[in-house]
Amino acid sequence: MENIGFQILPINRRPNKALIERYRHIATPLISDNMSRLQGTYSHIRPFHKSKKITGTAFTVRTRAGDNLMVHKAIDMAERGDVIVVDAGGDMTQAIIGEIMLRLAKKNGIEGFVIDGAIRDSAAFESHDYPCFAKGVTHRGPYKDGPGEINVPITVGNMIVHPGDIIVGDEDGVIAVPLDFAEELIELATEQETKELGMFEAIENETIDRSWVDETLRQKGCAFM
């Protein structure tokens, strides 16, 4: 029998590595534009590392605010290339991870963290350039009592994440791609990237067509004086 609120589940479906690699080279805005611009975390979830992009399989954790017992278990369970995504309720009173957990996760080949909550030892994430997106920083450490859940659907920064989703994060934020739509979305995002590269070239050549701006204004009923 399930113990709702205090349980550990497996990831039943995982994306293949070739598909994850394709997402590694696509910027989050290109993905977001093809998900109706309504998906992804809000802007409070921001990077605390320097430059690395985060791309991998979502290994989800829901924990009680200020408690990281299940995050420790997730570090022991997650596979190489997984992204540990933590719903800590957005609470900022206690840090969910710090440098010790950073080092453990890095040693285990975990891709990084996305945390709707606080971290500490923030300078370590920058110096290691280890991917970590979080809501903020506090020196106050966590408790280790539970409860919590592993590999259940969670909400992080107003974004729904299912275990096995493809997580992509860069300087513009984090987005979760549902596995059922991942093949289609990468094609759409790649097509948009090609289109935008053509637009950049047209801007430089001064051949870009901007007539759509006035046409849209007319359609919206704007008065031209």
101 is in an annotated binding site: yes
99 is in an annotated binding site: yes
98 is in an annotated binding site: yes
75 is in an annotated binding site: no
Helix/strand/coil (H/E/C) assignment for every residue in the chain: CCCCCEEECCCCCCCCHHHHHHHCCCCHHHHHHCCCCCCCCCCCCEECCCCCCEEEEEEEEEECCCECHHHHHHHHHCCCCEEEEEECCCCCCCEEECHHHHHHHHHCCCCEEEEEEEECCHHHHHHHCCCEEEEEECCCCCECCCCEEECCCEEECCEEECCCCEEEEECCEEEEECHHHHHHHHHHHHHHHHHHHHHHHHHHHCCCCCHHHHHHHHHCCCCCC
State the binding site for Mg(2+).
121
State the binding site for substrate.
98-101, 120
State the binding site.
98-101, 120-121
